[in-house]
Amino acid sequence: MFYFSKMKIKIDLIPLLEKFIKESEQGIRRKVNGERISAGSIENYRNFLKLILKFCQDSSFKFHASDIRKLNAREFQSEKNYWKRFYNNFTNYLYKNGCHDNYVGSNIKYLRTFLNYLRKDKDLHLGEFYKDFFVRKEEIEILVLNPEQLKFLIHNKEFETMLSPSQRKIKDIFVFGCSTGLRFSDLELLTTKNFEKIGNENYIKIKTKKTKTFTHIKLSDFAFNIYLKYKSNSAKRSLFAIVSLHNFNKQLKIIGEKAGWTDSISYRREKLGMAISVKKGKVAKTRFCDLMSSHMMRRTAITTMLILGMPEHMVRNVSGHTNNSGSFYRYVHYAQNYLDLEISKVHDKLMEV
């Protein structure tokens, strides 16, 4: 849709954003290596579209642009100022609605991807003003189960009687993820074809959805028992038939509450590069169980391996991190802090008279 102003022709970007999403879904738009855009990325684009529409509605902002090849010097400067205002207004809108740096930064990345698509695929030269858009990224605190908490979920049969059948299943899936280090997206894909027996040992073999790398993971006895519990006769049927991620995380918080993991902890996120405490209502601190989510599975698996003494290079082989991965050494640092705390407890006991 095109409409005219006194100065220049403006292009409504909403229909083009919808076309961008549709072409991503249909495989017309692909990655640089020729692979199709993942379903997760397409869902992110849909959510970005909804966010832009809500922003435009709430702030009466027009999401439009002009082809800079048809602008004079004064119009070019006006276009540059428009994009500066858009970036400032859009990011301020997100921050005022409680968003943090990672979420804001991700949406700016989607915007840049879309505008780059218009230039390359649709020959619309809207300028490269978006290259000045700052993409913030925050280092989120690592929240994991410690080995004692993980053991509790694995072995405490009395606790299981406190859970509903659906909660027991979510608990099993969570424990399985904490043992294997697989992401939620990979657990969704597991079927009996992903499991194999070599000698007396049991393994998972899977091509991970996010990184497209092949992983071969040896199963612990308790993880294998979970597999047997949900094993299907159909090789095509999903092993766990997982509920939605939203419901999974919601029930996980309830399970953590039932486990008694209600201690208040200080948890910080970042806005505009500044750390702030995450609040639940008017309370500056929140409970550990309230922060439990699917992300905790992989993080727990990695830190548990490190805490229990597995060499770093072996843990990296399981987790898929590179040798110089900064995120991996955050896990190493966390594991070392845990070990230091446990050593301090031993020292305190030795000092008792």
Question: How do the pLDDT tens digits run along the chain, 353 residues long?
Answer: 444 444 568 999 999 999 999 999 999 999 888 889 988 899 999 999 999 999 999 999 999 999 998 899 999 999 999 999 999 999 999 999 989 899 999 999 999 999 999 999 999 999 899 888 988 887 777 788 988 999 999 999 999 999 999 999 999 999 999 999 888 988 988 999 999 999 999 999 988 877 777 888 889 999 999 999 999 888 888 899 877 889 999 999 999 999 999 998 876 777 877 767 665 544 445 899 999 999 999 889 888 888 877 777 777 776 666 666 667 767 776 677 767 776 776 666 666 65
The answer to the question of residue 177 being in a domain is: yes
151 & 49 share domain: no
308 & 163 share domain: yes
Rounded-to-integer distance, Cα 80 and Cα 345, Å: 60
* CA contacts within 13 A on the Cβ side of 307: 22
161 & 283 share domain: yes
DSSP-derived secondary structure letter, 233: S
The answer to the question of residue 219 being in a domain is: no
The answer to the question of residue 221 being in a domain is: no
Q: What pLDDT is stored for residue 302 in this prediction? A: 86
The answer to the question of residue 140 being in a domain is: no
78 & 158 share domain: no
Domain range for residue 15? Answer: 2-132
Q: What pLDDT is stored for residue 74 in this prediction? A: 92
The answer to the question of residue 327 being in a domain is: yes
Q: What pLDDT is stored for residue 281 in this prediction? A: 47
168 & 47 share domain: no
172 & 128 share domain: no
Rounded-to-integer distance, Cα 150 and Cα 128, Å: 50
The answer to the question of residue 199 being in a domain is: no
The answer to the question of residue 207 being in a domain is: no
Rounded-to-integer distance, Cα 13 and Cα 194, Å: 44
165 & 313 share domain: yes
pTM of the model: 0.71
Q: Which helix (H) or strand (E) holds 53?
A: helix 39-59
* CA contacts within 13 A on the Cβ side of 304: 21
